Amino acid sequence: MRKPDRLELANLPTPIWSLDGMDYCRENARLFMKRDDFTGFEMGGNKVRKLEYALKQGMDQGAEVFITCGGIQSNHVRAVASAAALFSRKAHLVLSGSDMQPDGNYFLDLLFGASVQFVSEEDYKYRRQQLMEEIRASYTRRGIQAYILPEGASNGIGFFGYYQAYEEIMMQERLLREPFDTICVAVGSGGTYAGLYAANEMYGCRKRIVGFNIYDKNADAEMQIAGIIEEGLRVGGCRNRISYDRIHIVYDYVGEGYGITSSQVMDFIHKTALQTGILLDPVNTGKALYGVVSELYKRNPLLTGNVLYIHTGGQFGIFPQKNRFCL
């Protein structure tokens, strides 16, 4: 498959750590962590891999403004705001909810000079694409070229970020001499999972790719992921057909919904920080790794052998919830 051109923004390859010796393992499984939170700081986490491709496409089209959307603590939105500032462009952000005291990612959005437009949760759910199109049209009328990035940069161009990440993992397996049987990742907008799954199928590796939904327990993540993959294959000029029968999404750890974190997950984040020095966030990685460890304890047959969890970053999201920790 032909990969599009990209910018080089991320610090790659990101390291893989063994979590041996911690109480996250069981007899027939070893847990590893790929530190994609090390891709950078302002643009760190999984989003920058997708933005390398999406921003390149937008800049090639002459974009002066990048329009995107997300929750008020969206890591993707913060990464877009940072990247726009880096390239002397502007970011226009459509955020779900209402204005609040700036903190975490939202504080950084403003620090990077982004324009912010708040919309109701209902409008965000059903009209966010229309709203972004209207914003782009308003810029066009002023003679300004604007480029829309969907939620999480999860589309056919952003797909290549984690297709490439899978190739990076293959290279690291050879160096580490540690083949992975299962790769686990948080699933929100679906683009990260889509790239990993497609590469696994295209290379015929037969690993288990297991996603932990942190977004919406009623979402049809499988259909969403398949749509992103199909679009990505078209962008890459690939006519190969792949099977979607091996998509595995776990919905049991969404809790009350996106950005709503249970006391059990908060305790887990605290415990992980104490035992490992690794910082998770309440929105994505805390829920997902809590799910991985819970399924390991349950002896889920999908999580056997060498299990690689991808830490997708987002630690700024912990600061608005700092009062929930007993320190």
Residues with catalytic annotation? 74
Report the b/e string of 279-318 with b at 16+ CB within 10 A. Answer: bbbbbbbbbbbbbbbbbbeeebeebbebbbbbbbbbbbbb
Q: What is the dihedral of CA 39, 40, 42, 46, to 10 degrees?
A: 0
CB 158 within 8 A of CB 174: no
In angstroms, the CA 272 to CA 268 distance is 6
State the Cα angle at 210 between 205 and 214, rounded to 5°.
150
Judge residue 77's burial from the number of C-beta atoms within 10 Å of its C-beta, 0-12 exposed, 13-18 middle, 19 or more buried.
buried
Q: 307 pairs with which residues across the strands?
A: 31, 182
Q: 31 pairs with which residues across the strands?
A: 307
Token pair listed for 59: 């800049």
